[in-house]
Amino acid sequence: MDLTKKFYKIREVSELLGLPASTIRYWETEFDQLSPRRNDKGTRYFTPDDIEIIRQIKYLLHDRGLKIDAAREQLSFASNTVESKQRAIDRLRDIRARLVALRDSLHKLR
């Protein structure tokens, strides 16, 4: 995921990561590492670093199946490890999608 903007609204983050905005707001209350900036009206503005933290939380909760307490602990003690594992999984998913597309193309040629 190539994040080119400096700030993203919660709706954009929700669409990028495939998460409901309510989940992102909830995680904000549960994880100290996640603290987006807010304007005077309370609108949240997420940086690419905030989005990376959300991706890590999603990986821990959804892919690894950890409870929030365990995910919180993992995130605070081993964020580099979590990030590298999560990136590896993302790369593998991308490779798999490319292979499936290649296989489908080959089947169409027959």
Sequential pLDDT tens for the chain (110 residues): 557 789 999 999 999 999 999 999 999 999 988 999 999 999 999 999 899 899 989 999 999 999 999 999 888 876 566 677 777 788 888 899 999 999 999 888 87
Please count the structural domains in the chain: 1
* Residue 51 lies inside a defined structural domain of this protein: yes
The model scores a pTM over 0.75:
no
* Residue 1 lies inside a defined structural domain of this protein: no
| Residue 38: CATH number of its domain | 1.10.1660.10
* Residue 3 lies inside a defined structural domain of this protein: no
d(CA 102, CA 78): 36
Which two structure tokens, joined as six digits, stand for 95?
A: 């490779």
d(CA 13, CA 16): 5
* Residue 26 lies inside a defined structural domain of this protein: yes
Domain that holds residue 55: 8-109
Q: Dihedral of CA 15/19/22/24: which sign?
A: negative
